[in-house]
Amino acid sequence: TRRLVALDAPFTDQKPGTSGLRKRVKVFQQPHYTESFVAGILAAVPAPAAGASGHTLVVGGDGRYYGQEAAQLIIRMAAATEGKIAKIIVGHKAILSTPAASNLIRKRQAVGGILLTASHNPGGPNNDFGIKYNVSNGGPAPEGITNKIYDFTKTLKEYAIMEDLPEVDLSEIGTHQAGDLEVEVVDSVADYVELLHGIFDFAKLRAFFAARPDFKVLVDSMHGVTGPYALRIFGEELGLGAGAVMNATVLPDFGGGHPDPNLTYAHDLVERVWRDEIDFGAASDGDGDRNMIIGAHKTFVNPSDSVAVIAHWATEAIPYFKNGLHGVARSMPTSGALDRVATKHALTCYEVPTGWKFFGNLMDAQRLSICGEESFGTGSDHIREKDGIWAMMAWLSILAAFAEANPGAEVSLRAVLADFYAQYGRHYFARYDYEDVSSDGAKGMMAELRANLPAAGSLVLGNADMVVQESGDFSYTDPVDGSFTSGQGLYVRLENGSRFVFRLSGTGSQGATIRLYAEQYHASQVDLDPQQALGPLLRAALAVAKLQEYTGRDAPTVIT
């Protein structure tokens, strides 16, 4: 039976951040809390056209704690929409990587999807859960819609739910019925693998490995959602065996780890790759949309370089792009390496605010093929999310193409990067994260910096090498639909091409995280240590922002 459940008072804290609503599991477990946000999403789903049948919605998540409960709850609430939602497609055991969910939404012409993930945030009963709404193009809902959801929840008085429906057995693939709602449980991996087959040349990659039996690959799924995907794609399809994937079991608490693929949190992989001289090492985050690429000789592919190198090689290395690229894009804090590739290849390079939702319109308008963020996110218009496994496949394809183009040369990540830097020069890039600082301190620091940004023509701290060319608070007007977004990060660009940026994270679940991004270009000095090359700039930025004064921190939590 359909029941209307009344709330004592609406929740006022359900404002989605950079990528969905992320809170402690305990917050989602409060009575009616998850229901309230789901009600907001269901209200944001457009009504079906007159006479048309109800919509299809995709549901799935990264396997974290509370995902099963949330999926069952969404089914009971969707079944109470009186036909607005007629069908739910859900991953086996409610598991879908974020890229796989984006693909399913597009492929099955769903009205949207509900993604049960807090991405790279730790999971388990005392950590984070998250819910993200994606729209019919497969991408994260734009701000217009997330604001609507937030406004709806702030005044919600009651929500509808089917009370006495038995749980749907999500471990059984096939079609189930939940009242009037059809629930199709699908293999989590199959459609995604098919998608990749239409993008990459699997036979060529197999031949590459067959010709190099000593070439070692190690993929770290960090007990996140990509385990089954990586086992199937790298282990089986590319013939590398199950040993090529570590931490492949999806665990509700990610094995107690922090499923964020960077040099700090993916340290087990980093240690093995650098110690055992593994040629190609890669990691992905909890929900599978991020990637880190590392290799022997202590090689680390900075994500800002990664998207630029992929764009440089795309038409040659990846069949999906053989007819050329529409354009490229990066988030504002991401380095300008991609801009150089765009200039050389006569492509437009768009600069958008942080967060994947800003790429979708450009892709839908066929203005954008490849894009990336400095935060270990890389992707293309094959879906509307960043895609960790896609990035790994792209880099393997580049290695294969590099081998073909340079017979007899060393085939390694290091060689590909050296070749790239020789052609374009190098954008040194570093990011400092100060996690879990006091919200007041972070806000105070940003407010003072915003008010006192060093002006064009002035010297940063009187330093004669640091003449300010431009500074401001980044805003963006979407060239496709004209929507305007402001307050996206404080930047100071110097006349020598260097830049630093401060912004506050929008994905944390408690306190505040300050991010400082720095970049500096060198045309010919390409072998410096990035932290050393950027040291003076970083120190100047920290002093200008009075970071230590406001936060009491003298060192970052994570350095990239």
| In the complex, minimum distance from the CB of residue 343 to Co ion, in angstroms, rounded to a whole number | 30
| In the complex, minimum distance from the CB of residue 510 to ligand VG1, in angstroms, rounded to a whole number | 13
Quick one: what does residue 32 bind among ligand VG1, Co ion, none, with the CB cut-off 5 to 8 Å set by partner type? Answer: none
> Which window, 105-113, 165-173, 206-214, 354-362, contacts ligand VG1 (CB under 6 A)?
354-362
Nearer to Co ion, 121 or 299 (CB): 121
> Which window, 216-224, 417-425, 452-460, 504-512, contacts ligand VG1 (CB under 6 A)?
504-512
Q: Give the C-alpha separation, 229 to 245, whole Å.
A: 10
Instruction: Give me the DSSP letters along 377-443.
Output: EEEETTSSS--HHHHHHHHHHHHHHHHHHSTTS--SHHHHHHHHHHHH-EEEEEEEEEEEE-HHHHH
Nearer to Co ion, 121 or 153 (CB): 121
**Residue 506 interacts with ligand VG1 (CB under 6 A): yes or no:** yes
| In the complex, minimum distance from the CB of residue 120 to Co ion, in angstroms, rounded to a whole number | 5
Q: Residues 289, 339, 387, 478: which binds ligand VG1 (CB under 6 A)?
A: 289
CA 551 to chain centre: 27
Nearer to ligand VG1, 118 or 347 (CB): 118
Nearer to ligand VG1, 72 or 335 (CB): 335
**Residue 331 interacts with ligand VG1 (CB under 6 A): yes or no:** yes
**Residue 288 interacts with ligand VG1 (CB under 6 A): yes or no:** no
| In the complex, minimum distance from the CB of residue 326 to Co ion, in angstroms, rounded to a whole number | 25
Taking Cα atoms as reference points, which of 539, 408, 394, 400 lies closest to residue 466?
539
Quick one: CA torsion of 235, 237, 239, 244, rounded to 10 degrees? -20
Q: Residues 36, 354, 551, 560: which binds ligand VG1 (CB under 6 A)?
A: 354
**Residue 128 interacts with ligand VG1 (CB under 6 A): yes or no:** no
Q: Give the C-alpha separation, 293 to 389, whole Å.
A: 11
Q: Give the C-alpha separation, 166 to 496, whole Å.
A: 65
Nearer to ligand VG1, 289 or 305 (CB): 289
Q: Residues 14, 375, 471, 488: which binds ligand VG1 (CB under 6 A)?
A: 375
Structure tokens at 65: 């704690």
**Are 224 and 288 in contact, with CB atoms under 8 Å apart?**
yes
Q: Give the C-alpha separation, 549 to 546, whole Å.
A: 5
Nearer to Co ion, 119 or 560 (CB): 119
Q: Are strands 291-295 and 280-284 parallel, antiparallel or unpaired?
A: antiparallel
| In the complex, minimum distance from the CB of residue 515 to ligand VG1, in angstroms, rounded to a whole number | 6
Which residues are within 8 A (CB) of 553 and not within 5 positions of it... i.e. 6 or more apart?
A: 434, 437, 547
Nearer to ligand VG1, 265 or 356 (CB): 356
Quick one: what does residue 507 bind among Co ion, ligand VG1, none, with the CB cut-off 5 to 8 Å set by partner type? Answer: ligand VG1
Catalytic status, residue 458: no
Which residues are within 8 A (CB) of 292 and not within 5 positions of it... i.e. 6 or more apart?
A: 261, 262, 263, 266, 282, 283, 284, 301, 303, 376
Q: Are strands 499-504 and 490-494 parallel, antiparallel or unpaired?
A: antiparallel
**Are 195 and 78 in contact, with CB atoms under 8 Å apart?**
no
**Residue 377 interacts with ligand VG1 (CB under 6 A): yes or no:** yes
Q: Residues 220, 279, 285, 387: which binds ligand VG1 (CB under 6 A)?
A: 285
Q: How many residues bind ligand VG1 (CB under 6 A)?
A: 18
Q: Where are the alpha helices (DSSP H) in 25-142?
A: 25-28, 33-44, 67-78, 98-107
Nearer to ligand VG1, 313 or 517 (CB): 517
Residues 36, 97, 102, 119: which is the catalytic one? 119
**Residue 427 interacts with ligand VG1 (CB under 6 A): yes or no:** no
Contact mark string toward ligand VG1, 1..40, x via CB under 6 A: -----------------xx---------------------
User: CB burial class (10 A; 0-12, 13-18, 19+) of residue 482?
Assistant: exposed
| In the complex, minimum distance from the CB of residue 192 to ligand VG1, in angstroms, rounded to a whole number | 17
**Residue 378 interacts with ligand VG1 (CB under 6 A): yes or no:** no
| In the complex, minimum distance from the CB of residue 488 to ligand VG1, in angstroms, rounded to a whole number | 10
Q: Give the C-alpha separation, 6 to 543, whole Å.
A: 52
Helix (H, G, I), strand (E, B) or coil at 155: coil
Quick one: what does residue 379 bind among ligand VG1, Co ion, none, with the CB cut-off 5 to 8 Å set by partner type? Answer: none
Instruction: Report how far apart the first and last C-alpha atoms of the chain are (Å, whole number).
Output: 53
CA 239 to chain centre: 28
| In the complex, minimum distance from the CB of residue 287 to Co ion, in angstroms, rounded to a whole number | 4
**Residue 507 interacts with ligand VG1 (CB under 6 A): yes or no:** yes
Closest CB to ligand VG1: residue number: 119
Structure tokens at 320: 């999906």
Residues in the chain: 560
Q: Give the C-alpha separation, 375 to 119, whole Å.
A: 12
Amino acid at 144: G
Contact mark string toward ligand VG1, 244..283, x via CB under 6 A: ----------------------------------------
> Which residues are paired to 514 by β-bridges?
434, 504
> Which residues are paired to 291 by β-bridges?
284
Nearer to ligand VG1, 81 or 560 (CB): 560
Site of interaction with Co ion (CB under 5 A):
119, 285, 287, 289-290
Helix (H, G, I), strand (E, B) or coil at 500: strand
Quick one: what does residue 356 bind among Co ion, ligand VG1, none, with the CB cut-off 5 to 8 Å set by partner type? Answer: ligand VG1
**Residue 76 interacts with ligand VG1 (CB under 6 A): yes or no:** no
Structure tokens at 552: 């009491």
Quick one: what does residue 519 bind among Co ion, ligand VG1, none, with the CB cut-off 5 to 8 Å set by partner type? Answer: none
Dihedrals φ, ψ of 378, to 5°?
-145, 145
Q: Residues 36, 119, 127, 471: which binds ligand VG1 (CB under 6 A)?
A: 119
CA 104 to chain centre: 17
Q: Give the active site residues.
A: 119
Residues near ligand VG1 (CB under 6 A) are 18-19, 119-120, 285, 289-290, 331, 354-356, 373, 375, 377, 505-507, 515
